[in-house]
Structure 1
Amino acid sequence: PAGALGLPSSTAWLRFAADVLPVLEARGWHIRKMPGYRFDLVEVEDWYAEVGEESGNAWFDLELGIVVNQARVSLLPVLVALIRGAPRDFDQSALAQYADADQLLATLPGGARVALPWGRIKPILNTLGELYFADDRPGAGAGIRLSTLDAARLAELADGVQLRWLGGERLRAIGKKLNGFGGLRKCVPPQGLRATLRDYQGEGVAWLQFLREYDLAGILADDMGLGKTIQALAHILIEKEAGRLTRPALVIAPTSLMSNWQDEAARFAPDLRVLLLHGKERLQRFDAIDRHDLVLTTYALLPRDEEKLREHRYHLLILDEAHYIKNARSKAAQSASLLRARHRICLTGTPLENHLGELWSQFHFLLPGLLGDEKTFNSGFRGPIEKQGDELRRALLIRRIKPFLLRRTKDKVAKELPPKTEMVRTVELAGAQRDLYETVRLAMDKKVRDEIAKKGVARSQIVILEALLKLRQVCCDPRLVKSGAATKPAASSAKLTELIEMLDALLEEGRRILIFSQFTSMLALIEAELDARGIAYALLTGDTRDRAVAVRSFQQGEVPIFLISLKAGGVGL
């Protein structure tokens, strides 16, 4: 009607009803409320959280609610109804706009209305992601059923929302420890460990011990080179010295890392009785499994030996370079899941390489049910995150896996190491190599453009990658390009010439040198130059039969140069 004043939002009306109307009434205003007026509210007397758990059960029930007129009212169905009715009002960007003092208008079963402070509601929504998947949520009762693996979320609620708690003390204590190192007990290094653990390594061992204590599992995902193997060995030694290692620890790793595990165990944990199941002779060793502390086998042999390995139980099952089971349908992943062990651990510096399905596969091995089944995970997390960039789902996923994944990077934990110094040396192509580069560039430019014209950019990826590969090869050495022009003697390599000059200077200074290349054919050319100069070196590629000998010769100073292919050197060094 003409002359009427309006308010822009429910939040503004709630403020008006709470702060202004009482003042007007006190001043004698006559106030008439229309039938559609929605802001006559009842008082919220209390907030509560009730946890129902049964011993030996992998689930617990959580009910969050308020007390109105001395009666308990569950909030979860109310919140689910609100989210379903206006999902955009509850996405991450919208939640960030609400001040904690602002209020949410909610209608309770029976028709009474209450004002719920956003300062209480936002932590609940952020912590209980199931509310956003209301259509998939099992049950529609007053509470929500959660896995005991979700204990960390109880601790988050306790810290973020003022609630009267009814039950759940044990789960909240576990959750508090899961949420951070602050609650973990420092563990004394085992007496049999022949090494001094760095601080972050000691914390890693304490984390592994915590997981073992509460029958949990997790991924130790430290950067390569930070000592995941020694942390795992220290963990096994603690179990042995405490008398808990009544069955062996089984380590499954790539074939190339068998010697590394043997060497590290002999060097740092000589008290462990180690059994290697590799080669034909392994067939006579299966009966000896129970007489050893540490048993080593490979992903390649796992499907073949599954039946024999399943005849035994293990105290601990460790998957090293666990991205090898990133495909949950692979035979190795399926065989590993069937092995019987009290505790499970994954070690990998790259828990996620290409897509979120790899992460699901590893957690399906470790903690089945934590991320739901594959179909539910793909629809609830992978699809929205990878295809739609859904930040809310990403945050919910991170929160769910955080307690069970420990990752430290070199720049954050290895403070005692000198900072990495990067020196970029520019090498200019000249002469025949430059001419060849331009010839290849023009040819590939035409090929790429023709392919895009026929198929479009999305379906031309292979040709584009081929073009980039050839250009990179010309830059490294023209002889890497498979063409007649590339073999002309005049087309020398500017980079190889520069490298040899650098090596001469560095060797004179007594330096020890690692040389990496993606191309094993480039390493072969470097080999030829070193052989011609009588310079000793070690070589590690996918064709290296005895990896341990190559590594040992460089570590012990027998050779000053180590040539390494990126793929072969990407694990276990």
Structure 2
Amino acid sequence: MKVYTTQPFQVIYSLFEHEYLGYLFESFVVQINTKGQLTLQHQNISAKNADEFASRLDDKDFKLIALIDQIQQDAVLKKFSPKKLSPADFFLKVYDPEKGDRNMQEAISHYIQVRMGKILEMLEDRRTFIMGKDGDPAWKEIQVAADKATVRFHLHRNEDNTHYYPTIKYKGEKLNFQYRNAALICYEPAWLMLDEVVYSFENGIDGKKLQPFLNKKFILIPRSVEENYYRKFVTSLVESFDVKPNGFEIKPQKYRPKPHLNFSEIKSAEVSALLGNGGSEASKVDKAAAADKILFNLSFRYGDHMVEAQDAKRISVSMEKTEDSYIFHKLIRDAVHEKQYVKELANRELEVKNGQAVLDKGAAFSWLNNNLQALEELGFTVEQSEKSGKNYFIGEISVNVGITENNDWFDIYGTVRFGEFEIPFIKLKNHILTRNNEYLLPNGQVAIIPEEWFTQYIELFAFSEGEHQLTLRKHHMALVNDLQNGNLAQVTMTRKLEKLREFDEIEDKPLPAGFLGELRPYQKAGYNWLHFVKDYKFGGCLADDMGLGKTVQTLAMLQHRKENGAESASLLVMPTSLIYNWLNEAQKFTPELRILTYTGTYRDKNVEQFKDYDLVLTSYGIVRLDTELLKTYYFDYIILDESQAIKNPDSNTSKAVRSLKSRHRLILTGTPVENSTMDLWSQMSFINPGLLGNQHFFRNEFLKPIEKEKDEHKTRRLHALIKPFILRRHKSQVARELPPKIEHTTFCKMTEEQEHAYEETKSYYRNKILTSLEENGPGNTQFMLLQGLMKLRQIANHPSMTDPAYEGESGKLKEVMRMTKSIVAKGHKVLIFSQFVKHLEIIRQVLNEKEITYAYLDGNTKNRQQQVELFQNDPSIQVFLISLKAGGVGLNLTAADYVFILDPWWNPAVEAQAVDRAHRIGQQNKVFTYKFITKDTVEEKILALQNRKIQLVTDLISTDENIIKSLTKEDIDNLLS
């Protein structure tokens, strides 16, 4: 019968008994007559149609209706029936008395009982009825008791048995419920219906504990099973409920809890289960560190009883059997003091949840070492669990390190104390370097080295030498200072070494008598600095910007060595193209230096001749070829110009120069780092061996954190170590007399034929590269990416670079030639740099056609110096074509006041070196630099990516950091879009 919303109606809740599911509720709306009485006109209501009756429903009604929907027969069938069975088939199968599915029955019962409990909690102020057998939802009204009833369980022990029964009280009055047609309409927890009133109970009693007594006075427990029954059943009953004993004793006990903190080693896979949070914490656990976790377990001792903190029971009961009876010791826990102890641990940064905490092993023992004494003073007992495999030491740990200056090194000594054991500091070396935090003590216990020691002392061990006595070279002064400043070592040294702390104290040295010319103030400071590092027997890196006169500062030092008793010749190694530049500069500033040019196929391979010279000039290639011979001579200085030539520490060139012997070492470079931080290690290890540890250490401690993780702390740390041995000045700082440098970017539009060639190649490589990225990942796509980008860059310059049959024009070539003609017409000189010799050949052909004379230099040019002098001195030669690789360093080309960079690439430092061929000391005019970028090509994308990707950490550790390896799929997509 339909209920009309236009007339008064009432929502009611009706209790009925299902054949299989037990007591359930249904929700109805019932029409109300003019007297306010319920009529027989009613309608079932569910979540589907509840909104129609919203005018007389509140939020609680909507929640009740939703819950009641969940326990209806159809909802149960839908949730628990894997197949589409009819209700009759499903229930007959599951509830068959002999073949029924007991597990399914329990699951369904629990599902319904939990929801029935929630429904009953909400019915107190709702009209509730028992449904009539004819389906009338309002047959008999029932009330939900406002207060909770209490239950007391009685156990009356006599000579033969024990009588067990409950009594119920409501508002202090006994409730007679036995043999009164009482019904348990819910079991989880118990709700009892008696005389049209429904009662709930304090402590949420399980209905199964009351069910046997609805039609029974008591349960009889025979003496033969008494002890077992008392131990298993009565003990838990006493813990949870009010029990009245007769014939035995219940003794309440109260104690002040004493905290116990146990620890044991666990595998990370166990952490999730232990913390009991399904996986949210487990996801944070490093699965690789299988046994590197420590589990802390908090418990409390009450008298003779130990209670786990994670145990939620506030009352703990144990049974004692006496000669003729039983005593139940009812321990009442002290929640206030337990919480105070948990808070004490939290204040010391150990967060205990559910009685447990998990820390990494290193952090755990560091925490124990720092807090053990304080915890014991607070009354904690801290001990290792018997289950833990290793016997860990948890006593006091301390370290005492001393550093004393010796003649040419520092001596390191120290002791580590683990409780009663005193261990030489050197014994920790391998443990610290391999990050092994377990140290085996003489008594078989395992001491855990504090986590902070690995950070504090790893460099000291990595840089020190010696197996039985640790020594540290003097060039590790910065490290010694840090240890002293951090109170990590007691340092004793001479006053002389104090000069190393500040460069301001560098002594001014007079220029040698045989030096012709003057040094600018910053060059004189550089000359003084070279003396400074020499006097302390350190190697140095003069890393001034290109064009600031590293050559002349070095020549002044070499002249000083000649005049002050150098006992042997110095060796100056450089790229072949710079030999003549050095010769010219030496003739100009230090004509007294006796110089041997040790180059060429027909060189005299005899080191005996070196004694007749002050300076031997040679190339990296010759050193590589003549290593065994040159190793036999002890040079005064070995100086490497453009020292980035040894940036790869594993190259034959690097190995060759490192094997040579000398009293002093110096490197000259404008770019200490070109591709990777490892470039720095190679060069620093040449001038000061061991300064940055071995390659493996440097890679793990500096290169990876700096390049991959952008770790600013590690970057600053590396700078601190190398700072005393590098002198770097910028043009903007020191050469204020230099004219300004003006940079332009010129965008060139492709011709139609060029654009067609570009798009065709781009589509081919885009599909190929992006497919490879999906299938093989970035690591296996790098070569293909480089190949594709190279082709696109060449087409952006001129398509004939990749296709000799191409007969069209290039937009970039047109613009380069237009500007070249304009510059030449106005009497200026221009350097034209390209990374591609093929590109220079194309420019060369056009210059020949236009009858514009030019100088030319690439890697195959034999008469390099002649080409330089031709351009510098001949007014008719206004154009110099130079390959970036062959002419990007060392050349002095101040006759030019224009520089063209035809094909920019990732590394702006390389371009800066090219520009510095013209923008250097001696330049009188403004230098105009033009980068030529072809619009809508990979060149334009590279320019944007260059600005976004290359963040110069400092001027020292800079450049592209192998950018190709760090490109994301999005970057590649953008480049090829």
**C-alpha contact (below 8 Å) 1:128/1:153 kept by paired residues:** no
Once the two structures are superposed, residues 382-410 of structure 1 have per-residue CA deviations (whole angstroms, 9 ceiling, x without a partner) of 34444554444433322222212223333
1:228 aligns with 2:580: no
Distance 2:456 2:510 in 1: 34
Question: Superposition RMSD on alpha carbons, in Å?
Answer: 4.0
User: How is 1:476-495 mapped onto 2 (pairs within 5 angstroms)?
Assistant: 476-482=797-803, 484=805, 486=806, 488=807, 491-495=808-812
The corresponding residue for 2:747 is: 426
Once the two structures are superposed, residues 28-80 of structure 1 have per-residue CA deviations (whole angstroms, 9 ceiling, x without a partner) of xxxx9633499xxxxxxxxx995423335x33237799xxxxxxxx99999xx
1:187 aligns with 2:531: no
Distance 2:401 2:520 in 1: 41
Once the two structures are superposed, residues 133-168 of structure 1 have per-residue CA deviations (whole angstroms, 9 ceiling, x without a partner) of 79x988999x9853322223444566x569997731
Deviates more, 1:311-320 or 1:326-335: 326-335
Amino acid at match of 2:736: K
User: How is 1:196-275 mapped onto 2 (pairs within 5 angstroms)?
Assistant: 196-241=518-563, 243-275=564-596
1:371 aligns with 2:692: yes
Residue 462 of structure 1, aligned match among 783, 790, 793: 783
User: Which blocks of at least 5 consecutive residues in structure 2 are unaligned?
Assistant: 1-333, 350-375, 383-399, 417-423, 438-451, 892-977
**C-alpha contact (below 8 Å) 1:220/1:406 kept by paired residues:** yes
Higher Rg of the two aligned structures: 2
Secondary structure of 2:815's counterpart equals: helix
Residue 734 of structure 2, aligned match among 413, 421, 432: 413
Amino acid at match of 1:188: P
**C-alpha contact (below 8 Å) 1:60/1:147 kept by paired residues:** no
Residue 848 of structure 2, aligned match among 531, 548, 560: 531
Q: Residues 265 and 64 of structure 1: is their aligned pair in 2 closer, same or farther, counting only changes over 3 Å?
A: farther
Amino acid at match of 2:855: A
Amino acid at match of 2:506: L
Q: Residues 337 and 376 of structure 1: is their aligned pair in 2 closer, same or farther, counting only changes over 3 Å?
A: same
The corresponding residue for 2:369 is: none
Distance 2:864 2:787 in 1: 31
Distance 2:693 2:797 in 1: 47
Amino acid at match of 1:375: H
The structural deviation recorded for 1:513 is 1.0
The corresponding residue for 2:765 is: 444
Distance 2:567 2:684 in 1: 26
Q: Residues 475 and 510 of structure 1: is their aligned pair in 2 closer, same or farther, counting only changes over 3 Å?
A: same
Distance 1:76 1:392 in 2: 27
Distance 2:544 2:782 in 1: 33
**C-alpha contact (below 8 Å) 1:255/1:298 kept by paired residues:** yes
Distance 2:847 2:381 in 1: 88
**Under a length normalisation based on structure 1, what TM-score does the superposition of the two structures give?**
0.74
Residue 326 of structure 1, aligned match among 647, 653, 676: 647
The corresponding residue for 1:556 is: 873
Residue 494 of structure 2, aligned match among 166, 169, 176: 169
Q: Residues 395 and 125 of structure 1: is their aligned pair in 2 closer, same or farther, counting only changes over 3 Å?
A: farther
Distance 1:351 1:493 in 2: 37
The structural deviation recorded for 1:223 is 2.8
Once the two structures are superposed, residues 532-568 of structure 1 have per-residue CA deviations (whole angstroms, 9 ceiling, x without a partner) of 2222211111111111111111222442111111111
Distance 1:55 1:520 in 2: 54
**C-alpha contact (below 8 Å) 1:77/1:140 kept by paired residues:** no
The structural deviation recorded for 1:465 is 1.8
Deviates more, 1:315-324 or 1:541-550: 315-324
The corresponding residue for 1:112 is: none
Secondary structure of 1:423's counterpart equals: strand
Deviates more, 1:382-391 or 1:501-510: 382-391
Distance 2:602 2:795 in 1: 46
Secondary structure of 1:424's counterpart equals: strand
**Under a length normalisation based on structure 2, what TM-score does the superposition of the two structures give?**
0.45
Secondary structure of 1:275's counterpart equals: strand
Amino acid at match of 2:640: L
The corresponding residue for 1:504 is: 821
Distance 2:549 2:658 in 1: 25
The corresponding residue for 1:513 is: 830
Distance 1:405 1:340 in 2: 21
User: How is 1:3-402 mapped onto 2 (pairs within 5 angstroms)?
Assistant: 6=343, 9-10=347-348, 34-36=378-380, 51-56=403-408, 58-61=409-412, 130=459, 146-155=472-481, 160=485, 167-170=492-495, 173-174=496-497, 176-241=498-563, 243-283=564-604, 286-402=607-723
Secondary structure of 1:283's counterpart equals: coil
**C-alpha contact (below 8 Å) 1:50/1:168 kept by paired residues:** no
Once the two structures are superposed, residues 298-340 of structure 1 have per-residue CA deviations (whole angstroms, 9 ceiling, x without a partner) of 2212233234333432111112222222333433333323322
The corresponding residue for 1:111 is: none
The structural deviation recorded for 1:372 is 2.4
Once the two structures are superposed, residues 353-404 of structure 1 have per-residue CA deviations (whole angstroms, 9 ceiling, x without a partner) of 3334333332332222222233333344334444554444433322222212
Distance 2:790 2:624 in 1: 35
1:572 aligns with 2:890: yes
The structural deviation recorded for 1:572 is 1.2
**C-alpha contact (below 8 Å) 1:127/1:156 kept by paired residues:** no
Once the two structures are superposed, residues 331-350 of structure 1 have per-residue CA deviations (whole angstroms, 9 ceiling, x without a partner) of 33333233221101122223
User: Which blocks of at least 5 consecutive residues in structure 1 are unaligned?
Assistant: 12-31, 39-47, 66-73, 88-121
Amino acid at match of 2:542: L
Secondary structure of 2:740's counterpart equals: coil
Distance 1:541 1:341 in 2: 34
Once the two structures are superposed, residues 195-242 of structure 1 have per-residue CA deviations (whole angstroms, 9 ceiling, x without a partner) of 43233322222221111111111222223323222221111112223x
Secondary structure of 1:201's counterpart equals: helix
Distance 1:77 1:550 in 2: 62
The structural deviation recorded for 1:460 is 1.2
Q: Residues 34 and 210 of structure 1: is their aligned pair in 2 closer, same or farther, counting only changes over 3 Å?
A: same
Secondary structure of 1:319's counterpart equals: strand
Percent identity for Structure 1 against Structure 2:
35
The structure whose residues are more often helix, as a share, is: 1
Distance 2:779 2:487 in 1: 52
Distance 1:520 1:305 in 2: 30
State the aligned residue count: 492
The corresponding residue for 2:150 is: none
Deviates more, 1:358-367 or 1:293-302: 358-367
Distance 2:465 2:852 in 1: 68
Q: Compare relative contact order (CA 8 Å, sep 6+) and give the higher one, 1 or 2.
A: 1
The structure whose residues are more often strand, as a share, is: 2
Distance 1:462 1:260 in 2: 38
Secondary structure of 2:625's counterpart equals: helix
Distance 1:470 1:329 in 2: 30
The structural deviation recorded for 1:420 is 2.0
Distance 2:521 2:482 in 1: 27
The structural deviation recorded for 1:251 is 0.8
Q: Residues 372 and 523 of structure 1: is their aligned pair in 2 closer, same or farther, counting only changes over 3 Å?
A: same
Distance 1:258 1:139 in 2: 41
Deviates more, 1:520-529 or 1:414-423: 414-423
